[in-house]
Amino acid sequence: MRTIIQRVKVAKVSEMPKNIGKTIKIGAIEIALFHLACGEFRAIENRCPHKSGVLAEGIVCGDHVFCPMHDWKISVVDGLVQKPDNGCVKTFRVEVEGDDVYIFLH
């Protein structure tokens, strides 16, 4: 059985300030999209595994976002919650083509 992958245009690079998250809704899926200071884009599930804080509203520092509810530190690269807390969120592949930002769903 083949997995169907959907590529969805979600933003423009020129409209995404660095280190500020943006909530992206694709059907029933809610994603936090980040334009990091290094220029990379990362996308993760938009709810903290602790108490469902909205991660797009968190503070970004390097490759991590801090949940706005209880300050859990979550990697935007691999979705892992940093110690001493534990858990993870789903990550999504992001691609930039020109000024367009795409997220891949599967």
The CATH number for 79's domain is 2.102.10.10
The residue range of the domain holding 23 is 6-105
Residue 72 lies in a domain: yes
Confidence band of 1 (pLDDT split at 50, 70, 90): low
- Is residue 1 included in any domain, yes or no? no
- Assess contact for 103 and 90: CB atoms under 8 A: no
Q: Is 88 within the bounds of a domain?
A: yes
Quickly tell me which residue has 């592949």 as its tokens: 93
By percentage, how much of the chain surpasses pLDDT 90?
A: 93
**Three-class secondary structure of residue 57 per DSSP:** helix
Whether residue 12 is predicted with pLDDT greater than 70 in this model: the reply is yes
Residue 83 pLDDT > 90: yes
- Mean pLDDT for the chain overall: 95
Question: Residue 5: its pLDDT value, please?
Answer: 84
37 found inside a domain: yes
Domains contained in the chain, number? 1
Mean pLDDT of 32-45: 97
Please list, in sequence order, all residues whose beta carbon lies within 8 angstroms of the beta carbon of residue 48, skipping any fewer than 6 positions away.
54, 55, 67, 69, 70, 72, 74, 89
DSSP assignment, residue 80?
A: B
Given a cut of 80, is residue 94 above it in pLDDT? yes
Contact status, residue 9 vs residue 97, Cβ threshold 8 Å? no
DSSP for residue 44: E
Residue-wise pLDDT for 17-33, tens only, equals 999 999 999 999 999 99
Chain position carrying tokens 């300030």? 17
